[in-house]
């Protein structure tokens, strides 16, 4: 594979494909290395930051994942994946108020996204408060 990719090391798409392959093989450390190269080549593109955050998440590096996902969301506030990922991670960390804010932003972009609705419903249950949550239906 290295011979096939020789001379392609300046292509963010190649690093994306290699990183995704490593994730598929449950090799998040190697995936992170590829996504770091992608980010270095295209720092203003949210995809690299999002995927790098995912690789960090798979390694249990939640602070690093959150940081990369926040960068991706800042670069493109309409990019759904990091909004949902941030909300879900924060909910898992019991940071319910901030999780709700991120998940509400995600739901505004994809009103019929089942996982977002589920996470918001779970937050409402945990907070014993359904006031201000998006209605289902």
**85 and 67 housed in the same domain:** no
Cα dist. 100→19, 93, 120 in Å? 30, 12, 7
| Sign of the four-CA dihedral 98, 101, 103, 106 | negative
- The span from the CA of 62 to the CA of 64, in Å, is 5
The pTM of the whole model exceeds 0.75: yes
Question: What per-residue confidence (pLDDT) applies to 8?
Answer: 61
Which among 76, 102, 120 is the end of a domain?
A: 76
List % helix, strand, coil for the chain (3-state, nearest 5). Answer: 70, 0, 30
Question: What per-residue confidence (pLDDT) applies to 75?
Answer: 98
pLDDT profile of the chain (137 residues), mean per 10: 56 94 96 96 97 98 98 98 98 94 96 94 82 53
Range of the domain at 69: 11-76
**16 and 70 housed in the same domain:** yes
In-domain check, residue 1:
no
Considering its fold, how many domains does the chain have in total? 2
Question: What per-residue confidence (pLDDT) applies to 85?
Answer: 98
């Amino acid at each position: 594979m290295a011979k096939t990719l020789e001379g392609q090391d300046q292509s963010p798409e190649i690093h994306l494909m290699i990183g995704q392959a490593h994730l598929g093989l449950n090799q998040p450390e190697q995936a992170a290395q590829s996504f770091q190269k992608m980010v270095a080549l295209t720092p203003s593109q949210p995809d690299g930051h999002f995927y790098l955050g995912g690789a960090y998440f798979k390694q249990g590096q939640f602070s690093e994942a959150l940081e990369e996902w926040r960068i991706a969301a800042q670069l493109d506030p309409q990019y759904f994946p990091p909004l949902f990922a941030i909300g879900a991670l924060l909910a898992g960390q019991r940071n319910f108020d901030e999780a709700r804010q991120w998940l509400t932003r995600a739901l505004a972009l994809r009103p019929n996204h089942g996982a977002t609705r589920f996470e918001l419903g779970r937050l409402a249950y945990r907070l014993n408060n359904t006031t201000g949550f998006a209605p289902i239906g």
